[in-house]
Structure 1
Amino acid sequence: MIPDSASSIPPKQKSFTTIRPIGAAALQGIAFSGETLFAIDATNGYLLQIDPKSDSSTILNSSRELDWVGASGLALAGETLWLTLDNSVYFCQLKGDLSLQHFVTLPYTANGIAVRDATIYITSQRSGYIFIYSRDTGREITRLYAPGVGAEHITIRGEELWVSDAEEQTVYCLDRATGEIHFSVLTPFANPTGLAFYTDPETGQDILYVAYSGEEPYIRDNPNADPNFELQYRDRTFIHPLYFSHNAERHYALSNGYLIEMSYIEELAPLEDVELKQVEWRIALPAETDRQKIRKIEPIGMPFTEEVQDGQRIAVFKFDTLKPGERHLFGWKALLEVWSIKYRLTPREVEKLPDLSPDFETRYLVDNDELAMDTEIIRRAAREAIGRETNLLRKVYNIRNYVYDKLSYGIKPHIDTPDIVLERGVGSCGEYLGLLLALGRLNGIACRTVGRYKCPAHNDKFGIPLEPDFNHVWMEFYVPGVGWLPMESNPDDTVEGGPYPTRFFMGLAWYHMEMAKGITFETLRSEGAPVNKENTSIGELAINHVRFKILEELSPPQWT
């Protein structure tokens, strides 16, 4: 069995649902005392006492809230409350008048805080460290490297440090003494801003709660405007349980999952009259992976037969003849269980790897998708990207950072080859991917395309039809002896010049739908041969309809 410290599953008896405190604008640090939840509202300066069952909130510092504006970290040690504000740490007595007493001032802004016995742990994004201070002397004992690149909050469970990172959208489990990362998990929502464990008194089980804070767009009905509907933004803050399960043997951890219904349907509506005979319309089906399980697949509109291509399931729709003026709806609907996944491998673990098989070299080290691997600009970039690095994991990481340094994200009407994209300096997700594939393969790294869609990330809206604005592709690279690992194409390219988060380096969020691994997502054949794209393309023949419904939240399985 996996040890309890490596998993957190919803208790059967009871659990708090999403907590949305009334009157809160931007929750930061949180802490539990029994079944009572305390939180900092950084915008208003409130110290809130929250009833998790009703969302009812009480402002405890009603006469001192201006002193607390901008506070972020929060910790409780008995009746003593600790907080971070700007670059200083303060404490006060919870049952007193909440007047703040200064503890220590850091050279940089302090973000999060945790207390264990006589030891104080303080995170600081600007410094890149977790500072460890003596509560008795106020002196620094030592410091640990912070695991991510964003503002971090911290809490303690036993001999573990748990750190949330807003930019990384990640929670890390660290060894409290050494700072070594045991594993990490992606959070189901963006911008985590606080975390705390709640111990269920009936089961004794620890449940990790994470606070989130940001803005959300909405449509406002303004009767004084013409037109009356306006795009506006409002505060969005809440607290949600983070469920996780760590599979150390397989090098990954799963976190909050969802049961999702996905439909992919083609509406035959040619732009011009065309007649095709003995037609096979082939559409990739969702894959079974470490983080994605298929409960059910059924046809829509008309039946299909199923084939397997390079290990990938394909739905094949057959027409004797497609005549001018014909209209059809056809496709599939899948019921999927999807989780967020984060793999963890260190460069030391991939030092001595077996060679790639000849089959992998033939399929995944060659230019089989207009990657411009024979052009001088791409060959030079392949050399520059890795420098003298020989470790496979570091090579992939360096290639990713090189591409992020060279490109900025932008949508184009069509995908250009990597040489053109590199010269232009702007690329879509598919163009980022093409450059990543070219540089990876030239450096002996087997890699392939994966896609095809992301569910809109509205995982607090169940049963509502959701339609993505774009399709999406990302990459998998192969580690001999380990397997295929995911890497996003462009979403981690968030800051000009870096440092870049690594949330999707060997990780995928719950909203990624995996299919068409290393194969074309959709193809058309007529009379036994591929249809000439220059004469007739799928985009000119049909309109695709992609729809998702998030049905319920799941929790990761436990392994035995």
Structure 2
Amino acid sequence: MNSPFCESAFSATIRPIIATSVDGLIFIDNHLLAIDSRNGYLLLINPKNSVTKIVNNSSWQDFIGAKGLCISENKLWFTSREYIYYCSIEWEKDNLVITSKPFCAFSLSYPANGIAVWENTIYITTQKTGHILVYSLDGTAITKFYAPGIGAENITVKGEEIWLCDSIEQTVYCLDRATGDVKYSILTPFESPTALAFCYDEKTGKDILYVAYSDQEPYIRDNPNAEPNHELLYRDRTFIHPLHFYFDEENKYTLSNGFLLEMTYVEEISPLDHLELKNLEWRIALPTESARQKIKSIEAVGLPYIEEDYQGQKVALFKFPEFNTDERYVFGWRAILEVWSIKYQLKPRDCEALPPLSPDYESKYLVDDDNLAMNTDVILRAAEDARGSETNLLRKMYNIRNYVYDHLTYGIKPHIDTPDIVLKRGVGSCGEYLGLLLALSRLNGIACRTVGRYKCPLKVLHFGIPLVPDFNHVWMEFYLPSIGWLPMESNPDDLEDSNIYPTRFFMGLSWYHVEMAKDVPFETLKSEGELINKETTSIGQLAINHVSFTIIEELKPTGSEEG
């Protein structure tokens, strides 16, 4: 099957300079209308150059706290707290004019977020109840649907579909307008999506979906009155960016906005002690290919390597006949990769009649092969508690994830403890979250494995700048017979300020994850054919690793379902 992607860059990002947040979005007559809830500004934005002006110069106070925007005939609708408002508008010579004060159409029992009007029907999202409320124009309740996410959601309607974005889930959902059933969901390339709208593209004849993002970013301020003069501060970051995606209905996943990355991984020999080794073999895993990651090119850095193949997984072998720590080397690889966000669209009912796990997978992926403490009383008891009475594999995996999140909080540790110690302590790093997830899953008959290895720093649209990750990262894949391997993050969905966990990275992975060869160690040392004991000589005692990413360009899906 041909790749659904091309390598061309596409529509420019829209950056309304004065906006502190974007809480509602509409395209109207080749302009973009947005609401800044904090300032009460109704903003008219030129999408071609981001030039922005305030429409409600004298009535901005009426719009403080306003969220959600939609237009029906000559009425502009929005929400504010638990009230539904509209005001009259006119379009005059490339300028939008508000011709009446906001009028309260009706009120709800709980605060509203997004609003969309389709003919004589109003759709309203409310985070408090977790519903999409359906009303008539006169304020009569018609029905309600369950909202798929857990965060604040904005909404728009397009034909027979409801589209909404969820700020916590980092996801856009496409729902059937008549039933409220989710048709598919799409991971957004950036965090905190707050509004969305469709724009017709005359060149392609399709509707392009634009999503607004509003959050804060850290920056270093040079303060001449302070000592030291550099201070860490935060500032508002708001921008609007097209969301392109490809829905593979046959394989049940969506791919969204991709990026062309350059990744370099090298080791610099910098030993702590003097050491000599004969016939040293230094192996480093290479990036792998998957449904969301493609290798464009890969080359050696510093020293040549021999490429080894382990059942389709590639590893670079560097040979040192006489390794002496008095000598200095830099060696590794440089890869150019296409990476995409992926979200699988599986439901428990898709997993009701799965075949049994094969004996090969049982012997490989259900065993304690990495100090998982699977025979300890505390882990055996936890595996039973986490499962409950569930028999469906997908629900069982979901229950196990939530059990781990209920019992752990995230914290960086200098070393990785076994899952029994981690569970008693209640605090774990990503690797320790992963160890506990692996132990509980395998004891419940779910084949799973460790994958990773690095995440590109999430510097929003910083192209051509070398980016260095602060640390490595691991996550897991679990296996459903006849379906395949599915990704699951180890800890990022465990939000400390919430007792309800998002599902964005349950069967989903963002573009900034780079996958290395699977089922093989990332890095190993052998001397004269024997593995070197990590307790006596570790890689960290011999070398310093250097990891660098450069975002080259953004990639656009072709043949996508953009409209």
**Residues 288-311 of structure 1: CA deviation (Å, up to 9, x unaligned):** 000000000000001101112243
What is the percentage of aligned positions where both structures have the same residue?
62
Q: CA–CA distance in 1 between the matches of 2:518 and 2:499?
A: 29
Task: In structure 1, give the amino acid aligned to 2:543.
Answer: A
Q: Confirm or deny that 1:505 pairs with 2:506.
A: yes
- How many residues in Structure 1 have an aligned counterpart in Structure 2? 553
Q: CA–CA distance in 2 between the matches of 1:229 and 1:556?
A: 42
Q: Confirm or deny that 1:114 pairs with 2:116.
A: yes
1:66 to 61, 66, 88: 61
**Residues 308-341 of structure 1: CA deviation (Å, up to 9, x unaligned):** 2243211111110111311110000000000000
Q: CA–CA distance in 2 between the matches of 1:67 and 1:496?
A: 31
1:327 alignment partner, SS class = coil
Q: Using structure 1 for the length normalisation, give the TM-score.
A: 0.96
Which deviates more from structure 2 when the two are superposed, residues 246-255 or residues 48-57?
Answer: 48-57
* Offset of residue 171 of structure 1: 0.3
Q: CA–CA distance in 1 between the matches of 2:445 and 2:353?
A: 15
Equivalent residues of 2:6, 2:557 under 8 A apart: no
Q: Confirm or deny that 1:454 pairs with 2:449.
A: no
1:57 to 39, 44, 52: 52
1:18 to 8, 13, 28: 13
Q: Unaligned regions of 5+ residues in structure 1, if any? A: none
Sort the Cα spacing of 1:411 and 1:201 in 2 relative to 1 into closer, same or farther, 3 A. Answer: same
Q: Confirm or deny that 1:340 pairs with 2:347.
A: no
Task: Name the counterpart of 2:439.
Answer: 438
Task: In structure 2, give the amino acid aligned to 1:531.
Answer: I
Task: Name the counterpart of 1:364.
Answer: 365
Equivalent residues of 2:7, 2:555 under 8 A apart: no
* Offset of residue 558 of structure 1: 3.6
Task: In structure 2, give the amino acid aligned to 1:34.
Answer: D
Q: CA–CA distance in 2 between the matches of 1:105 and 1:21?
A: 31
Task: In structure 2, give the amino acid aligned to 1:232.
Answer: L
**Residues 13-53 of structure 1: CA deviation (Å, up to 9, x unaligned):** x9641001121111111001131110001111000111111
Equivalent residues of 2:152, 2:168 under 8 A apart: yes
1:420 alignment partner, SS class = helix
Equivalent residues of 1:16, 1:52 under 8 A apart: no
Task: Name the counterpart of 2:274.
Answer: 273
Task: Name the counterpart of 1:216.
Answer: 217
Question: 5 Å matches for 1:121-520?
Answer: 121-135=123-137, 137-496=138-497, 498-520=499-521
* Offset of residue 469 of structure 1: 0.2
Which deviates more from structure 2 when the two are superposed, residues 504-513 or residues 227-236?
Answer: 227-236
Task: Name the counterpart of 1:91.
Answer: 86
Q: CA–CA distance in 2 between the matches of 1:66 and 1:496?
A: 31
Task: In structure 2, give the amino acid aligned to 1:114.
Answer: A
1:302 alignment partner, SS class = coil
Moved over 6 A (4+): 9-12
1:102 to 101, 104, 112: 104
**Residues 500-523 of structure 1: CA deviation (Å, up to 9, x unaligned):** 000000000000001132321111
Q: CA–CA distance in 2 between the matches of 1:310 and 1:359?
A: 14
Q: CA–CA distance in 2 between the matches of 1:157 and 1:17?
A: 23
2:183 alignment partner, SS class = strand
Q: Unaligned regions of 5+ residues in structure 2, if any? A: 91-97
Sort the Cα spacing of 1:334 and 1:47 in 2 relative to 1 into closer, same or farther, 3 A. Answer: same
Task: Name the counterpart of 2:31.
Answer: 36
Task: Name the counterpart of 2:530.
Answer: 529
Q: CA–CA distance in 2 between the matches of 1:403 and 1:98?
A: 54
**Residues 480-502 of structure 1: CA deviation (Å, up to 9, x unaligned):** 11110000000000135621000
Sort the Cα spacing of 1:514 and 1:398 in 2 relative to 1 into closer, same or farther, 3 A. Answer: same
Equivalent residues of 1:270, 1:540 under 8 A apart: yes
Q: CA–CA distance in 2 between the matches of 1:284 and 1:350?
A: 33
* Offset of residue 72 of structure 1: 1.3
Equivalent residues of 2:379, 2:420 under 8 A apart: yes
Q: CA–CA distance in 2 between the matches of 1:256 and 1:342?
A: 12
Task: In structure 2, give the amino acid aligned to 1:354.
Answer: P
Task: Name the counterpart of 1:544.
Answer: 545
Q: CA–CA distance in 2 between the matches of 1:201 and 1:396?
A: 45
Task: Name the counterpart of 2:94.
Answer: none
Q: CA–CA distance in 1 between the matches of 2:501 and 2:139?
A: 34
Q: CA–CA distance in 2 between the matches of 1:352 and 1:133?
A: 40
* Offset of residue 368 of structure 1: 0.3
2:398 alignment partner, SS class = helix
Task: Name the counterpart of 1:75.
Answer: 70
Q: CA–CA distance in 1 between the matches of 2:524 and 2:334?
A: 18
1:28 alignment partner, SS class = coil
Task: In structure 1, give the amino acid aligned to 2:82.
Answer: N
Alpha-carbon RMSD: 1.7
Task: In structure 2, give the amino acid aligned to 1:408.
Answer: T
Equivalent residues of 2:37, 2:67 under 8 A apart: yes
1:91 alignment partner, SS class = strand
* Offset of residue 79 of structure 1: 2.0
Equivalent residues of 2:10, 2:556 under 8 A apart: no
* Offset of residue 459 of structure 1: 3.6
Equivalent residues of 2:244, 2:560 under 8 A apart: no
2:439 alignment partner, SS class = helix
Task: In structure 2, give the amino acid aligned to 1:75.
Answer: C
Equivalent residues of 1:125, 1:151 under 8 A apart: yes
Equivalent residues of 2:409, 2:496 under 8 A apart: no
Q: CA–CA distance in 2 between the matches of 1:153 and 1:301?
A: 50
Sort the Cα spacing of 1:556 and 1:419 in 2 relative to 1 into closer, same or farther, 3 A. Answer: same
